[in-house]
Amino acid sequence: DTGVSQNPRHKITKRGQNVTFRCDPISEHNRLYWYRQTLGQGPEFLTYFQNEAQLEKSRLLSDRFSAERPKGSFSTLEIQRTEQGDSAMYLCASSPGRAGGVLTDTQYFGPGTRLTVL
């Protein structure tokens, strides 16, 4: 399967603990996005990478959240000192940027990591 993969698929943690999620985008996709989705809502943008550069962060991304994409391939999202309000589905998406010389904005989503903070 050459789609976007995310690990783990589920994470249950206690309030105050740190958690880290991983996203492996589609090979050769230079754009990578993180979104958060709560029950009954659409996904909300968190942050965006072009290659290894983090180009935008939402104000939803408090200083307890940090994301990296060190080699421009996989990305990690870490949440420190988790709170119950962090419980959500964390979605990763990748996009080729330019495909065949044409700029494309289509984003391909992974299955998500469901975080439950007790």
Partner 1 sequence: SQQGEEDPQALSIQEGENATMNCSYKTSINNLQWYRQNSGRGLVHLILIRSNEREKHSGRLRVTLDTSKKSSSLLITASRAADTASYFCATAPTGANSKLTFGKGITLSVRP
3-class SS at 109?
A: strand
Residue 76, both tokens: 């990690």
Q: Give CA torsion, residues 13, 78, 73, 88, to 10 deg.
A: 60
Please state the closest distance from residue 104 (CB atom) to partner 1, in A.
8
3-class SS at 100?
A: coil
Pattern 46-65, binding to partner 1, x per CB under 8 A?
Answer: --x------xx---------
Please state the closest distance from residue 38 (CB atom) to partner 1, in A.
11
- Residues in the interface with partner 1 (CB under 8 A) total 27
Of 18-26, 65-73, 75-83, 103-111: span binding partner 1 (CB under 8 A): 103-111
Of 18-26, 40-48, 68-76, 78-86: span binding partner 1 (CB under 8 A): 40-48
Per residue, what are the HEC states of 10-27?
A: EEEECCCCCEEEEEECCC
**Contact (CB, 8 A) for 107 and 2:** no
Beta carbon nearer to partner 1, 13 or 54: 54
Binding flag, residue 106, partner 1 (CB under 8 A): yes
**Cα–Cα dist 2/107, whole Å:** 14
Site for partner 1, rule CB under 8 A: 4, 31, 33, 35, 40-45, 48, 55-56, 89, 91, 93, 95, 104-112, 114
